[in-house]
Structure formats: C-alpha cells, structure tokens
Amino acid sequence: MKEDSFSYDTFLSPFTWRYGSKEMRNLFSERGRRTSWRAIWLELARAEEQAGLLSKEELAGISAGAAEKNIDIAKAHELERKIRHDLMAELRVFAEQAGKGGGKLHLGATSMDIEDNADALIFRNALGLLLTRLVNCLEAAKEKIVKYERTVCMAWTHLQPAEPTTLGYRFANYAQDILVDIEFLEMVRDHFLKGKGMKGAVGTSASFEKLLGKGRAKALEEKVMESLGLDYFDVSTQTYPRKVDFLLLACLTSIAASCHKFGLDLRVLQSPAFGEMSEPMEELQVGSSAMPFKKNPVAAERMCSLARLVAAFPSVAFMNAANSILERTLDDSANRRVAIPEAFLAVDECLMIYERLMRGLRVYPVMVEKNLEKFGPFAGTEAVMMKMVEEGGDRQQLHELIRVESFAAWEEMMKGKPNPLAELLSRNAEIAAKLKPAEVRQLLDPRHHTGDARERCAALVRDAIDPVLSRHSKRVGIRGKVEY
C-alpha cells in the first residue's frame, strides 16, 4: 500500500501498513470485499436471467456496472451513514450504475447470501497464500535438516541439559510442525470451508421458491455456486455455520503455534548463556536505543508477539458459533470484521518472518561445541554403567556410584571449572578396576549418544517433506518481503 493512500491523522491498524503482505491486505481490503460482493450479485443475476426473471438488457446493465472501476467507496460510505447498512449502501450504488438492471439486483437474496459467500471466497484465497508461505518455510527447514543432520549438539529439557541430539533433528521437529499445519490447512480448505449458497433469509430458500416456483430454487443455487467455483452447505440458517470460522481460526492458531515454538527456541538459543545461534542481523540494524552493543532477537520476538495475538481469536469464534441464537443474531458481525482478517494478516507476517529466520539463521559451531563439551559427558554415564554391568558389576550399586560422582562434577562446574566427570569416574577404584581412562572418555563422548537421529532426519525428508514439496512445487519461491 502506498503511504499516500491513507492518512496519518487518524487511527491506523498496524495491519494497514506494518504487518502482513500487500497480497493479503488486498484480499481483505474494502475494495476487494466489495468486488467480491459485486461478482456474486452478477452471478445471481446471470442465473436469474436464464430462469426468466431478468431480461438480457437488464443483465447487460448489471454486467457493465459490476466492473471494479465502478466501485465508489466514498459514495457508499456516505449513504451508509444515512441508512446504517453497509451492504445495502453498496447495493444502491451498484444499482444506480447498472441502468435498467439495477431494479432487479439482489432479487430474492438476503445480505448473507452475498456476504457469507464472498467471505468464503476471500478466505479460500487467503488460505492459498498461507499455503504458499508454509511450503516456503518447509523448504527452508529442509535445507537446515540436511545441512546439520550430522552436527551434534546438546538437547535441553526443562531448560536443563539432557542428552545430545543433532541440529538437524531439532530442525526436523520444526518441519514436522509445518507438515501438520499444511495438512490441517488443506483439510479446512477442502472439506470445511464452504459458502452459504443462495438460501434467503433463514436458509429455507422461500424467496427463491416464490420467484421461481416450487422445486426450482435448488437448481438456481447450484448454478450460482458452480459459476463461483465454491462448494456450499446443504442446509444453513441466515448464515453459513459459524463453526466454520472456529475451525478456520483454529487452523491459523496451529500455524501461529508452530511459529511461536520456533521463535521462542531461537530467542533462548540466541541468549549469551547458550549462544548457539542467532537470527540474521542487517548491517545497519539497531538493537537498542540505549545500549549500542545489543543484538536483540527482535524478529523472533515480533513473530511470537503476533502468534500470541492469533491464539486469542478462536475464543471469539467459539462464542460466535455457540451463541448464535436460533436462525441468527448479529453479534458476530463486528468482531468477525476484526478477528478473521487480522488473524490472516498476523499469520501471514509470522510465516514471512519464519522463512527469513530459517533461511538466514546464523549457527555458531564453536558455541555448540562448547556446550556439548561442558554438558555432553553426563549423557554417557548410562553407557559407562552398562559397560560396567557387562564386566560383572551390580547395576543398582553402579547407578548410585555414578550419581554421586556426577553431582560432584556439577559442583565443580558451578565453580567455573571444566567438567571433571571423566577424571572423577576414572579415579574411582571400582570403575578403574574394570575400565581404562581412555575407555571412560570414549564412553562419555556425547557424539556416540545421538541414537538414530540422523536416520530419522533422512526418513522425514524422504517420506514426508519431499512428497509435500513435490506436490506443491509450483508454490515454492513465492515469497513476501518483511520490511519491519
């Protein structure tokens, strides 16, 4: 959006210019919404002309008036201030532009025949854009899985050093989250996201039955929806089931959770206490207004912040679905105008940040190795215990012996000394009687304790990631620009 297309003298949503892509903003723009309305009115008019309700001359006027260039938002807003109905205001502006056909516009329809079908079309296109973003993120994650499948690092549970893993395996977990999101998105798009259809005020098609005759409303509905390329619900109230919005926002929240998980992990690992990786930094990027040396993970923090906002929206959709009394109440309308577009725009921004972070991630091997050397030997204590049992030792006694020596090693480390575990175990008389110091060090080497992480990385890429990337190969490479 060009900055001169809006005024800084009034409140602007951050999504107006700061967060989200131009493509996503266009989908949810006022012009885009009204364009969709007019497209549905036109298809309804075409079907009604074929049914004998409109003349060809009337349809020609409607078709000419439906052009996007005729949208006059200022005039529609001026009229809306008088009649207090946004769709009727647009309808009257359109009707004036449609010539003789203007008097037949919206014939038999209710507002939600237009708005709900338009929303479904917009949501479907928005999901398509997010699917592209997800595929790009998956491709970026795959690059890191392959690159770091052999890089051993410490794994952390409860923010405490646990056993060794590989960086590739950690990235595989992020990729797996994205795979789940892709499957969830496709399920929502292909199975749950439908239009209302053309069913009139309470979903019974009574108005269309009166216009067309008994039993003919269904055929008109099928014609309109087929021309829109949109599946629709067999039954409805005045609206499509608001449960759809809940499923839609649950899907967006799932994506947001994946973004937050990756962003939070990166923020932790960028802290000097870990220091293993950081987000990409621009050459002129300022980390703090007060502290020039700061390298704050601002992009990851922004992604987490927006993801946290998205997580709040499904509760709104739940209330809309659960509290829609009988055939319809209007208390969903205002919050849907905010919650759904902002959820899409926030997730759009999150995924652009995610891809940029994943592709530009800076890994510091020296710090990875330092943490591995410091904490990794503890993971080998089980291997020492098993070897000693093979040599005739008592497993329970050995467990206590190693526990005592391990805690002693921790105490020394907390004094700032290197990890002395190998030395302490090698000096223990019972262990020294069975194992040489070199054998102890080899057993404690964390590089021998990553299990089948490498094989699982390869399997995930081969069996899950590559098939998805291949299926969506045309989507890869369509990337948005993250400016803030």
Residues noted as catalytic = 158, 288
Contacts of 207 (CB under 8 A, 6+ apart): 108, 109, 110, 200, 201
Hey, what are 394's tokens? Answer: 């008592």
Q: How far apart are CA 479 and CA 484, in angstroms?
A: 15
**Distance in angstroms between the alpha carbons of the first and the last residue of the chain:** 15
Hey, what are 48's tokens? Answer: 């009604």
Q: Among positive and negative, which fits the CA dihedral 223, 229, 232, 238?
A: negative
CB atoms within 10 A of CB 78: 12
Q: Rounded to 5 degrees, what are φ and ψ at 436?
A: -80, 155
CB atoms within 10 A of CB 329: 13
Q: How far apart are CA 269 and CA 252, in angstroms?
A: 26
What separation in angstroms does the CA of 64 have from each of 89, 99, 213, 330, 384? 19, 9, 29, 33, 82
Query: 430: closest CA among 396, 386, 393?
Result: 393
Buried residues in 203-231 as b, exposed as e (16+ CB within 10 A):
bebebbbebbeeeebbebbebbbeebebe
Hey, what are 123's tokens? Answer: 């949501």
Beta carbons of 195 and 230 less than 8 angstroms apart:
yes
The secondary structure of residue 103, as a DSSP letter, is: G
Hey, what are 16's tokens? Answer: 């107006």
What separation in angstroms does the CA of 400 have from each of 2, 361, 375, 381? 69, 42, 20, 11
Beta carbons of 287 and 295 less than 8 angstroms apart:
yes
Q: How far apart are CA 407 and CA 413, in angstroms?
A: 10
Note the residue count of the chain: 484
Contacts of 460 (CB under 8 A, 6+ apart): 145, 172, 175, 176
